[in-house]
Chain A
Amino acid sequence: MKDNGESFVTEDGRTIGEVMLDLRDITLRFGGVEAIKSISFDIREGEIRAIIGPNGAGKSSMLNVISGFYIPQDGEVWFHGKKRAPLKPYQVARQGIARTFQNIALFEGMTVLDNIMTGRLNYTKSGLLAQAIWKGKAEREETENREKVERVIDFLEIQAIRKTPVGRLPYGLKKRVELARALAAEPKLLLLDEPMAGMNVEEKEDMSRFILDVNDEFGTTIALIEHDMGVVMDLSDRVVVMDYGKKIGDGTPDEVRNNQAVIDAYLGVAHED
């Protein structure tokens, strides 16, 4: 695979677009600890990009840099061909980047529907007064957002739990609701932090199907962190491998599989398909 062209075809025969997000020499420090050491990689339009690596490799920190939660000490983030100034997380969200979290970060005191509706907050234009009066603009907007959200609910097959408080849901469903909240924002780039952690085989299959469908039907670009190698190799178009804050491999699943450094650091022990 070569990434000098505008777009190219992967080994599965899928066409992948131009660079959407480009991370250049990102370095992130907490006090004296370097969580990320000068890492560069890109995410291309329409692809599913996996970030893998052992625990503590800095994967989640990387997602946090992308979503603006951590500001790296060095390096640049380019989004849609423009260098991104240091933004607040909510500003990043407004640019069309949505995400899920490793330890589910749903709003426990709210219903499933309200949780997913929060994904639409960036599309709300009506002001304080309009919302206070409700009738008219605010209500119209609410209905439009609700229609969008209902589509996501149908898509993820969670109609039955719409009005349930999130706190009462089992783990697997919570993960799905979190995905729904991210999807409701109609993101250009979707970041998934271990979407299948702690799931059984059946739930993993469901989740994999949803991820592929999102990518297919909505054309959403996806970057995901996952530990299950089988899932990663099946789902992703390209893989970045991190270890101790460094990038040790980058390429298609096959390339990564055969990369000696990767095998040594991470895969060599257990992986055999």
Chain B
Amino acid sequence: MSADFLYGIEVVLNGLMAGVMYALVALGFVLIFKASGIFNFAQGVMALFAALTLVGIMEGQVPFAHIINATFGTELHHFGWEVPAILAITCTVGVMILFAWAVQRFLFRHLVGQEPIILFMATIGLAYFLEGMGDLMWGSDIKTLALGLPQGGSRWIEDATAGLGGDDFYGFFIDKLDMVATVVAIVLVAGLIAFSQYTKHGRAMRAVADDHQAALSVGISLNFIWILVWSLAGFVALVAGIMWGAKSGVQFSLSLIALKALPVLMLGGFTSIPGAIVGGLIIGVGEKLFEYLVGPMVGGATENWFAYVLALLFLVFRPQGLFGEKIIERV
């Protein structure tokens, strides 16, 4: 096999794994959208906030140290202890649950029955609020997430595949972290599906997704379910934040992965978990392949827009997405 072709395959493999990461973020969107019809633009910032909080707790940072110091002239920064990863993750999950409750209590409870586009804009406001909050609490410098996840290319795969091509081919370069992320994503999806299929709250969640009124009439608390899905989305955000944070540091750009998840959702449909995954894979592979094949001709960095243009063109021909049903309009 020629080296070019094999490198093409490597691009596809890496694209698939990037796609898993996109799908991970998209999953958080789908959870909330299914249960409440809210298109949560803040999902990416939630990932950033969760990762910041995790790092902050692990390193024993003093929250709001910056603003306290500026106001009172103190020199606070760290408590001087370090928190083990497991405990810190548990605390962060707690913070995300608290966040879910607050969002429900102070924002969306007052917006029940509003048009979807108003809810969408409210989540843009939420994204700004949370981003500023994360910066105020933990500072805006780039942080490294020291969870001990494996990093760098896998020598083993590289050596094992080097023989496939000729002298120009040195084997597939595959990031170990990406592989971990893929496994985690698969476990997470399996867990979520098991949760929604086999637990009482999971079934209630699906009931709400199907029909609010009917769910209410059989005694399901909408408020509880919404807090639940926001908490789950917060958990998914934490996982995504850990994976992306370990990869490129915990910093503002992390929140931008949410923007990447949007075209994934447009392809896969907003209500379908398999759609989010397939959409993520298509976008991941598509943008990597496009950059590999066409990028050099047009100056590169096509990943910035390729996903959106692909989703846009796709939607023009199939407005309901890959897995959505055909829309019959009524008056």
Cβ contacts B298-331/A at 8 Å (1 or 0 each): 0000000000000000000000000000001101
**Residues B328 and A101 in contact, CB atoms below 8 Å apart:** no
**Residues A69 and B328 in contact, CB atoms below 8 Å apart:** no
Cβ contacts B225-261/A at 8 Å (1 or 0 each): 0000000000000000000000000000000000000
Question: Smallest CB–CB gap between A88 and chain B, Å?
Answer: 13
**Total residues of chain B contacting the partner, CB 8 A:** 3
Task: Tell me the bound Cα distance from A103 to B330 in angstroms.
Answer: 10
Task: Tell me the bound Cα distance from A30 to B331 in angstroms.
Answer: 15
User: In the complex, what residues of B have CB within 8 A of residue A30's CB?
Assistant: 328
Task: Tell me the bound Cα distance from A64 to B328 in angstroms.
Answer: 13
User: In the complex, what residues of A have CB within 8 A of residue B328's CB?
Assistant: 30
Our count of residue pairs bridging A and B at CB distance below 8 angstroms stands at: 9
User: In the complex, what residues of A have CB within 8 A of residue B331's CB?
Assistant: 60, 64, 69, 101-103, 105
Q: Interface on chain B toward A: helix, strand, loop, or mixed SS? A: loop
Task: Tell me the bound Cα distance from A30 to B329 in angstroms.
Answer: 11
Q: Which residue of B lies closest to A30 (CB)?
A: B328
Q: Which residue of B lies closest to A63 (CB)?
A: B331
Cβ contacts A57-77/B at 8 Å (1 or 0 each): 000100010000100000000
User: In the complex, what residues of B have CB within 8 A of residue A60's CB?
Assistant: 331
**Total residues of chain A contacting the partner, CB 8 A:** 8
Question: Smallest CB–CB gap between B22 and chain A, Å?
Answer: 33
Question: Smallest CB–CB gap between B187 and chain A, Å?
Answer: 38
Cβ contacts A96-137/B at 8 Å (1 or 0 each): 000001110100000000000000000000000000000000
Task: Tell me the bound Cα distance from A147 to B331 in angstroms.
Answer: 30
User: In the complex, what residues of A have CB within 8 A of residue B329's CB?
Assistant: 69
Task: Tell me the bound Cα distance from A69 to B331 in angstroms.
Answer: 9
Task: Tell me the bound Cα distance from A60 to B330 in angstroms.
Answer: 10
User: In the complex, what residues of B have CB within 8 A of residue A64's CB?
Assistant: 331
Question: Smallest CB–CB gap between B213 and chain A, Å?
Answer: 17
Question: Smallest CB–CB gap between A65 and chain B, Å?
Answer: 12
Q: Which residue of B lies closest to A61 (CB)?
A: B330
Task: Tell me the bound Cα distance from A218 to B127 in angstroms.
Answer: 57
Question: Smallest CB–CB gap between B146 and chain A, Å?
Answer: 53
Cβ contacts A24-41/B at 8 Å (1 or 0 each): 000000100000000000
Question: Smallest CB–CB gap between B324 and chain A, Å?
Answer: 15
Task: Tell me the bound Cα distance from A105 to B330 in angstroms.
Answer: 11
Question: Smallest CB–CB gap between B320 and chain A, Å?
Answer: 14
User: In the complex, what residues of B have CB within 8 A of residue A103's CB?
Assistant: 331
Question: Smallest CB–CB gap between B77 and chain A, Å?
Answer: 51
Question: Smallest CB–CB gap between B310 and chain A, Å?
Answer: 29
Task: Tell me the bound Cα distance from A219 to B331 in angstroms.
Answer: 27
Task: Tell me the bound Cα distance from A76 to B112 in angstroms.
Answer: 45
Cβ contacts B123-134/A at 8 Å (1 or 0 each): 000000000000
Q: Which residue of A lies closest to B331 (CB)?
A: A101
Task: Tell me the bound Cα distance from A271 to B331 in angstroms.
Answer: 29
Task: Tell me the bound Cα distance from A105 to B331 in angstroms.
Answer: 8
Question: Smallest CB–CB gap between A51 and chain B, Å?
Answer: 16
User: In the complex, what residues of B have CB within 8 A of residue A101's CB?
Assistant: 331
Task: Tell me the bound Cα distance from A102 to B331 in angstroms.
Answer: 8
Question: Smallest CB–CB gap between A194 and chain B, Å?
Answer: 12
Task: Tell me the bound Cα distance from A103 to B331 in angstroms.
Answer: 7
Question: Smallest CB–CB gap between A66 and chain B, Å?
Answer: 13
Task: Tell me the bound Cα distance from A249 to B75 in angstroms.
Answer: 89
Task: Tell me the bound Cα distance from A268 to B283 in angstroms.
Answer: 61
Q: Which residue of B lies closest to A69 (CB)?
A: B331
User: In the complex, what residues of B have CB within 8 A of residue A69's CB?
Assistant: 329, 331
Question: Smallest CB–CB gap between A155 and chain B, Å?
Answer: 25
Q: Which residue of B lies closest to A105 (CB)?
A: B331
Task: Tell me the bound Cα distance from A91 to B329 in angstroms.
Answer: 18
Task: Mark out the residues of chain A between 176 and 193 whose CB falls within 8 Å of any chain B CB in the assembled complex.
Answer: none
Task: Mark out the residues of chain A between 11 and 60 whose CB falls within 8 Å of any chain B CB in the assembled complex.
Answer: 30, 60
User: In the complex, what residues of B have CB within 8 A of residue A105's CB?
Assistant: 331
Q: Which residue of A lies closest to B329 (CB)?
A: A69
Question: Smallest CB–CB gap between B301 and chain A, Å?
Answer: 38
Question: Smallest CB–CB gap between B27 and chain A, Å?
Answer: 31
Task: Tell me the bound Cα distance from A32 to B165 in angstroms.
Answer: 54
Task: Tell me the bound Cα distance from A15 to B203 in angstroms.
Answer: 64
Task: Mark out the residues of chain B between 85 and 133 whose CB falls within 8 Å of any chain A CB in the assembled complex.
Answer: none
Task: Tell me the bound Cα distance from A102 to B330 in angstroms.
Answer: 11
Can you report 9 A-B residue pairs in the complex whose CB atoms are below 8 A from each other? Answer: A30-B328, A60-B331, A64-B331, A69-B329, A69-B331, A101-B331, A102-B331, A103-B331, A105-B331
Q: CB within 8 Å of B: which residues of A?
A: 30, 60, 64, 69, 101-103, 105
A60-B331, A69-B331, A103-B331 given; 6 more Cβ-contact pairs under 8 Å? A30-B328, A64-B331, A69-B329, A101-B331, A102-B331, A105-B331
3 pairs of A and B residues whose beta carbons are closest in the complex: A101-B331, A105-B331, A30-B328
